[in-house]
Amino acid sequence: MSRHCTFCGSKLEDGAKICTNCGRIVPVNPAGQRRQYDQNERQEYIDRSRMQSIPKRVYEHPKRAEAEERMRKQREEKARRKRNAERRNPPPADNGYERTPTEHNGSGKEKYGKKKKIVKRILKIAVILFAIYFAVALIRVFSVKLSTYEFETEMTLTNENYGQAINAYFKDGKWKYNIFKNEVSYQGTSQNGDKYFMTFKREDGQTIVDYMTVNGEKVKTDTIMKTKVMGMFMSEERVVD
């Protein structure tokens, strides 16, 4: 026959000395002398246990206690940091003014600060892009200036590369680089007063003048390198007193 706790009436396992419900020690009846309890007696014991505020547990795992203590300390530390932050940066006083539901919570200074940050970021990106363009343009122009061309001629050439030839043939001019076309060009006035415009490109491992105009008129492609450019490589730089 099953046993019940004499304090709360809960069912006990065979040989149990402690009630798993109320945690009290219950006596073990000798064999053959187990007491019978009817429904009314059990209800009486249940009512008595509810009135006495009996603890539910008599044992608690130490790790659970450690975890609860750690969580308590974390909550206290978080509250302490929040209080310190409020002391350092107290919220602005509203002076009794209440914002309407449609009014923005941010102040004018906050909006100005955000716009200022955006402008600074845009300027920073623009400076970086300009620096990249300037570096690429400088490298491409210098690579063309230092390039040479193997002309099919037995005549001796005065200049060794495009930079020397253009300096000798033109009295003034300007190098340019088009980043969208990845194209180097030169526009200047020759010693004779003619207006030149040239674009350069790589072909068969050599740098050639791909397009040329003289005084606004286009020069034929097959005569650019044979006559015009070779004449620049053969010209001598004039010394101006």
Q: Does residue 104 form part of some domain?
A: no
Q: Does residue 235 form part of some domain?
A: yes
Model confidence at 98: pLDDT above 60:
no
- Rounded distance between C-alpha atoms, residue 160 and residue 237, angstroms: 13
Q: Count of CB atoms within 10 A of residue 196's CB?
A: 21
- Rounded distance between C-alpha atoms, residue 130 and residue 113, angstroms: 26
User: Per residue in 35-54, pLDDT tens?
Assistant: 444 555 566 666 666 655 55
Percent pLDDT > 90 in the chain is: 44
- Contact (Cβ atoms closer than 8 angstroms) between residue 231 and residue 212: no
Q: Does residue 191 form part of some domain?
A: yes
pLDDT category, 110, cuts 50, 70, 90?
Answer: confident
pLDDT value, residue 58: 47
Question: Is the pTM here over 0.85, yes or no?
Answer: no
Total count of domains within the chain: 1
Q: Does residue 95 form part of some domain?
A: no
* Domain interval for residue 178: 113-241
User: Per residue in 8-24, pLDDT tens?
Assistant: 888 888 778 888 888 88
Q: Does residue 214 form part of some domain?
A: yes
Model confidence at 136: pLDDT above 80:
yes
Q: Does residue 105 form part of some domain?
A: no
Q: Does residue 138 form part of some domain?
A: yes
Q: Does residue 185 form part of some domain?
A: yes
